[in-house]
């Protein structure tokens, strides 16, 4: 990140209200797939989308956090975020250092 990019305050993880979903973690594991199935999942650099899961995207074609990290590491002087918004919950993670994607926003989803 450059000096003009602000680190947002980190949030604590929490149990997920969706019984079929894993807990919301305070940081992302590099193996995590950036996908929600129904909703919106994307990676953004300075609020411009660089990867998006569409309704036609096969799960195996989705980016992982490691893939987002590789893109961010190659161009680090930007505000990188991973957004995953599903019907029962949504999270935004911000890259706050090498290999560190931190939960900075959580919501109740769109349904």
Query: Tens of pLDDT along 7-52?
Result: 888 888 776 666 777 778 899 999 999 999 899 999 999 999 999 9
Sign of the CA dihedral 106, 107, 108, 111? negative
Mean of the pLDDT values across residues 66-74? 98
Q: Are strands 48-53 and 40-45 parallel, antiparallel or unpaired?
A: antiparallel
Report the pLDDT value the prediction gives residue 17, as an integer from 0 to 100: 64
From 102, 103, 101, 23, select the one nearest 68 (Cα to Cα).
101
pLDDT of 88 > 60? The answer is: yes
Contact 102, 94 (CB under 8 A): yes
pTM of the model: 0.89
CA distances from 73 to 76, 100, 101 (A): 5, 11, 12
pLDDT at 90: 92
pLDDT at 1 over 60: no
If one counts every other C-beta atom within 10 angstroms of the C-beta of residue 65, the result is: 22
Residue 16 phi/psi, 5-degree rounding, is -85, 140
Give 75-84 pLDDT, tens digit per residue.
999 999 999 9
Q: Is the pLDDT of residue 4 over 60?
A: no
Q: What is the mean pLDDT of residues 50-60?
A: 94
At 6 the pLDDT is 87
More confident residue, 22 or 1: 22
């Amino acid at each position: 990140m450059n000096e003009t990019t602000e680190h947002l305050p980190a949030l604590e993880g929490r149990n997920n209200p969706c019984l079929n979903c894993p807990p919301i973690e305070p940081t992302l594991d590099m193996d995590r797939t950036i996908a929600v199935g129904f909703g919106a999942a994307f990676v953004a650099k300075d609020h411009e989308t660089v990867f998006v899961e569409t309704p036609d995207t096969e799960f195996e074609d989705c980016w992982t956090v490691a893939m987002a990290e590789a893109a961010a590491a190659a161009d680090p002087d930007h505000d990188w975020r991973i957004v995953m918004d599903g019907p029962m919950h949504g999270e935004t993670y911000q890259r706050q250092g090498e290999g560190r994607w931190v939960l900075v926003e959580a919501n109740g989803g769109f349904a």
